[in-house]
A and B are shown apart, each in its own frame.
Chain A
Amino acid sequence: MADALQTGEPKAADSECLRALVVEDSSVIRDNLTETLEENTPVQVVASAEDENAAVAWLRDPNNTCDVVIVDIFLKSGSGLGVLQRLKDEPNAPRRVVLSNHATPEVRSKCAELGAEKVFDKSNEIDEMLAWFNRERRSGLASPASRT
């Protein structure tokens, strides 16, 4: 059974934000990442999930929308690759970004093949990820989900 999802409180300037689903099994990293993203980028974490099934279930619920999924590879059950695989052919799937400590060339290649736009290494590319989100927001790009 999928673990419960946590949904964040909407920010005041909601329309200015990139709404994100964070798929990460470690609560300490999830909490830190949420704080860092919300303090330093226009990202608003609207929900989080600990495993593959919970993430996909949340994404397929028509009541939920987000612009981007930030997904770890290792999850409580299933994997980030599984999330990417299951979203790969969905026409309105949100944009996908991988944040992993296993960002080997093989994993990066596999993630790209499965539709991830970017892969960031958890140990040394958080700054790059923050910069990427700031650039993306400035460029006005939005996900297919938020365009609908």
Chain B
Amino acid sequence: MIEAPRLKVVSLEAFEHPFTLRLPFRFGVVTVTEGKQAFVRARVRLGDGRGGFGYAAETLAAKWFDKDPALSDEQNRHQLRKTIELASEAYVAAAPATAFELSADNHRGLYRAATALKLPPLVAGFGPALVDRAVIDAVCRIYGASFASAMRSNLAGVGHHLVIPDLAGLDWNAFLAPLEPKTSIEARHTVGLLDPIVDADQPAGSRVEDGLPETLEEVVRSYGQRCFKLKLSGDRAADLDRLTKIAGVLDGVADRKLHVTLDGNEQYDDVDAVVELWSTMEADPRLQRLCAATLLIEQPVKRQAALARSVAPLAQARPVMVDESDADYDAFLRARSLGYTGISSKNCKGFYRSLVNLARCREWNAGGAGAFFMSGEDLTTLAGLSVQQDLALVSLLGLADVERNGHHFIDGFRGRPAAEAEAFAAAHPDLYRIDGGRPRLRIEAGRIALGSVVACKAFGSAVVPDLSTTPTMAKADWPPGSVETIVAS
């Protein structure tokens, strides 16, 4: 085991670029047609004098971290920018520490700072999560280590900390060392609330015709997927109608075992309503195969109520998992006491959080229950660094499948410099296919090959994004009007 290096973050720079979706993506309360992706570049110096850069990328997703309808999409993005600023300032000002100490030591302070600015906890974690990735990417690049080997040898210095008191007795080195990264993974396809299911759902002239699949039928044919994540709207009748339509297509996925997850995206007011939905589904002969294929139900109840009541009545039918309610290190502990058995892994919530929750699953399952699990979910991770870092994480966690939707709603590297796209494709030929001269995520027989992502000597990507033409991130106008105030003063 190599001793974890103490490091100083010398600088943190943030950039962002806009992107346009090829198809509208509706989930929860929002229909997304465009967005912005954040990039962070960290310059890190180790105690022995070596230094280098690390990178991370993530969508500045509106209406997921904070679903308050009173906020505009741009205000949501300013919330997220603010957390990047807070984390950057704290990390750059911090004294030398290991990568994990840097994250954990600043965790409470950054959450308090976010709370003072009326930022919800899920928002608060965004900036630190992004910056943590850039820092560990720099460590990997300096050491010439893959993400998996860096974590297995605990180069980050993960260990006992006050933010995770329940794991005080865990031997982190012994936990991390045997983790075996998977070299391929099943891609679970997201079916958004507006997605056309069959040809008839697309009015004449509405097709994108960009060579990529548009309807669910086409997705199944093109990618050969057998794992699907179906979005729920919170309207029981509408959900039943849509699920029946989807089942009409998925019932045709006959040659391989069908896996389905249902994602409530916090759209149901309480667990009773979801139990009622499930009971109706089970009673409907048209939904028999879909029900049998359903592995779990993801965050059906809005976060304000999700951790206030037991979900046992629903959990008797299917395992229930928290996603949006996973806003801090202790979320899984509280969720477990209410009958939840699963928690999502998303890089936007922090890769340390994922490792912590994996450790909890192992410990709790070793205690005999055997029911606790993690599931990899997507935040519309775009081609390039974002999706690759998320894939590197779920590979290390050993997950069998991961939700992927960025490749469906965004056409490859569209909007990024052509040279960057080519560099990623050349460095990761197992991950991308060249289609009409453009690199796009490669999904074959429903699976994504991860060999080059796992092996590269960095956090998921052998190459780095071209930030020479990517605009510097706008200053966070949060609280709203703060930038105007200072400029005018």
Are the C-beta atoms of B486 and A74 separated by less than 8 Å? yes
CB-CB under 8 A from A40, the residues of chain B are 95
Q: How far is the CA of A106 from the CA of B487 in the complex (A)?
A: 8
Query: With an 8 A cutoff between CB atoms, is B20 at the interface?
Result: no
Interface residue ranges of B1-58 to A (CB < 8 Å): 10-14, 43
CB-CB under 8 A from B94, the residues of chain A are 32, 35-36
Which listed residue (B85, B106, B112) contacts A101, Cβ 8 A? B85
Measured as residues with beta carbon below 8 angstroms from the partner, the interface class of chain A is 20 to 34
Q: How far is the CA of A27 from the CA of B86 in the complex (A)?
A: 11
CB-CB under 8 A from A31, the residues of chain B are 109
Looking at chain B's contact residues, is the secondary structure mostly helix, strand, loop, or mixed?
helix
Q: How far is the CA of A81 from the CA of B487 in the complex (A)?
A: 11
Are the C-beta atoms of A28 and B112 separated by less than 8 Å? yes
Are the C-beta atoms of A123 and B90 separated by less than 8 Å? no
Which listed residue (B12, B93, B483) contacts A29, Cβ 8 A? B93
Are the C-beta atoms of B93 and A27 separated by less than 8 Å? no
CB-CB under 8 A from A81, the residues of chain B are 486, 489
Q: How far is the CB of B329 from chain A (nearest CB, A)?
A: 16
Assuming A32-B106, A81-B486, is B112 touching A124 (CB within 8 A)? Answer: no
Are the C-beta atoms of A36 and B88 separated by less than 8 Å? no
Measured as residues with beta carbon below 8 angstroms from the partner, the interface class of chain B is 20 to 34
Are the C-beta atoms of B13 and A26 separated by less than 8 Å? no
Instruction: Digitize A22-39: 1 where CB-to-B-CB distance is under 8 Å, 0 elsewhere.
Output: 000111110111011001
CB-CB under 8 A from B95, the residues of chain A are 32, 35-36, 39-40
Interface residue ranges of B428-480 to A (CB < 8 Å): 475
Query: With an 8 A cutoff between CB atoms, is B275 at the interface?
Result: no
CB pairs A–B below 8 angstroms (11 shown): A29-B86, A29-B93, A29-B109, A29-B113, A31-B109, A74-B486, A122-B88, A123-B12, A123-B85, A124-B12, A126-B93
Binding site for A on B (CB under 8 A): 10-14, 43, 85-86, 88-90, 92-95, 106, 108-110, 112-113, 116, 475, 482-483, 485-487, 489
